[in-house]
Structure 1
Amino acid sequence: MLESGKERILVFVPHADDEVLGCGGLIEKACRYNNTVKVVLASVGNSFFWHREQPVSVNTRKKEFYKALKYLGCTNWDIMFDDKESILDTLPKKEIITKIDRYLLEFKPTMVFIPYPSFNQDHQVLYEACMAGLRPVPDRNYKVIAMYEYPLIVWQHPKLTDVGELYLDISETVDKKVGALRKHKSQLREPRHLISPESVKEWAAKRGMEVGFAYAEKYYLLRATFI
C-alpha cells in the first residue's frame, strides 16, 4: 500500500529519535513513493544526558529532529510541547488528547502509527492518549492503526499479546534509517547499546530473518479496515 502514493500517514512519537528507531524505514519508503507523511513529536526540552555528561538544549534536539526527517524525505512535522521532555505525565491527559484529536481531524490520516507502551513515562502517556484519540468515532475510518517498536522494547512487562503483527521490508532503505539516526548526534551510544546505529541495524536484520527479508521493521497491528 505504501507504493500507491495515496496514503496519508500520521506518526506520533514521544521523543526526537523515536521516529527513526520505530519508523525510519516506513517514513523513508512512504515518502519515496509520494505518500503524504506527517510526524508529530510529543515532547522536547532541555536535558542532561548522563551518557555524554553534558546538557543538550531544546534547540539542539529540534535541529536533530528536523535533520533526521529531512534526510528521510519528510518535510511535514510538528511539535506538541517544547518544554515537557520526560514530564508528559505531569500534564492533564485531556490536554494531550485534545491535541491528538486536532491532528486527526485536520490531517485526516488513512494510517496512524503510535508508540508501543513502555516503562518510559512519556511513551506510556502518549500511547494512552493516542488510544483515547483513536477511539471509534463515526466517519473516521483508518486503514491501519499500529504500534511501532524500538529496541528498548526488550525491557517490557507485561508484553502485549492480543495484537497482530506487521512486517515492513526495509532492505533497500535500512542504510537511510541508520543514517537518519546518526543525525541525532546527541543521542548516539556505543556500538553494543540497544539504540546505537550498529544495534539498530542488527535489530532490523533480526526482524528481517523472522519473515525472510534482509532487513525489516516490525509493527503491532491494532486495527485494519478494508473496503
Structure 2
Amino acid sequence: MLESGNERILIFVPHADDEVLGCGGLIEKACRHGNEVKVVLASVGNAFFWHREQPLSPQARKQEFMEALHYLGCQNMEIMFDDKENVLDTVPRKELITKIDTCLDQFKPTMVFIPYPSYHQDHQALFEACMAGLRPVPDRRYNLIAMYEYPLIVWQYPKLNDVGELYLDISDTIDKKVEALRKHQSQLREARHLISPESVMQWAAKRGMESGMAYAEKYHLLKAMLL
C-alpha cells in the first residue's frame, strides 16, 4: 500500500520521540514513496526528566521533534498543547476529542495510527480520545486503523489480545529510524534502557524474527477495509 504513493497517513503521538519509537520506519518509507504523512503531537511542556536531573523546555522538545521528522522526510506536523506534557489526562476529554475530530476532518486520512495504551497517563488519555474520534461517522472511511507500539509496552495492563497483527518490513530503513531517534538528544538513555538506540534496534530485530524479516515494526490492527 505504501509503495502506491496514494495514502494519506495521520499519526497521533503523545510525546516527542514516540513518533520514531513507534512509526519511524513507517514514516520514512511512506514519505519516500510519495504518500502524504502528517504527525500530530499531543503534548510538550516544561517536563522534569529523572535521567537528566533537570527540566526541559517546550522549545527544546519541539526542536527535537521537528529535526527527527525532517530527517525522516516528513514536513507536515502539528502540536496540540505546548504546556500539557505528562498531564494530558487533565485536559477535558471533550476538548481533546474535538482537536482529534478537527484533524480527521481537515486532513481526511486513509490510514490512522494511534498509540497502544500503556501505563503512562498521557498515552492512555490520547488512546481513549482517539478511539472516540475514530467512531463510525457518515462520510468518514479509513482503509486502516492501527495502534503502534513502543518498547515500554512490556509493562502494561490490561493486555489487548483481541486485535490483529500487522508487520512492516523496515530492513531498508532501520538505520534511519535509529538515527532519527538520536535527534531526540534529551531522551537518549544508556544502552540497556528499553528506549535506547541499541534497544530500539533489538526490538526491531525481535519483530523481524517474528515475521521472517531482518527488521520490522509491529502494529496492532483495529480495522482494515478491503477495497
Q: Do both proteins adopt the same fold according to a TM-score greater than 0.5, normalized to the shorter chain?
A: yes
- What is the distance in 1 between the residues matched to 2:197 and 2:122? 23
Residues 118-175 of structure 1: CA distance to partner in whole angstroms, max 9, x if unpaired? 1100000000000000000111110000000000000011100110000000000000
- What is the distance in 1 between the residues matched to 2:45 and 2:114? 21
Query: Which residue of 1 is the match for residue 185 of structure 2?
Result: 185
What is the 5 A alignment of 1:1-227?
1-227=1-227
- What is the distance in 2 between the residues matched to 1:214 and 1:160? 26
Residues 1-26 of structure 1: CA distance to partner in whole angstroms, max 9, x if unpaired? 00000000000000000000000000
* 4+ aligned runs moved over 6 Å, structure 1: none
2:57 partner letter: S
- What is the distance in 1 between the residues matched to 2:92 and 2:211? 41
- Unaligned runs of 5+ residues in structure 2 are none
1:50 partner letter: W
Give 1:95 deviation, angstroms.
Answer: 0.1
2:184 partner letter: H
Question: When the two structures are aligned, how many residues end up with a matched partner?
Answer: 227
Give 1:66 deviation, angstroms.
Answer: 0.1
Give 1:52 deviation, angstroms.
Answer: 1.2
1:163 partner letter: V
Give 1:50 deviation, angstroms.
Answer: 1.0
- What is the distance in 1 between the residues matched to 2:55 and 2:99? 29
- What is the distance in 2 between the residues matched to 1:95 and 1:139? 22
Q: SS of the residue aligned with 1:171?
A: coil
- What is the distance in 1 between the residues matched to 2:64 and 2:226? 37
Q: SS of the residue aligned with 1:78?
A: strand
Give 1:55 deviation, angstroms.
Answer: 1.7
- Unaligned runs of 5+ residues in structure 1 are none
TM-score by length of 1: 0.99
TM-score by length of 2: 0.99
CA RMSD of aligned residues (A): 0.5
Give 1:48 deviation, angstroms.
Answer: 1.4
The sequence identity of aligned pairs, in percent, is: 78
- What is the distance in 2 between the residues matched to 1:160 and 1:211? 20
Give 1:226 deviation, angstroms.
Answer: 2.0
Q: SS of the residue aligned with 1:119?
A: coil
Q: SS of the residue aligned with 1:79?
A: strand
Give 1:53 deviation, angstroms.
Answer: 1.1
- What is the distance in 1 between the residues matched to 2:62 and 2:104? 23
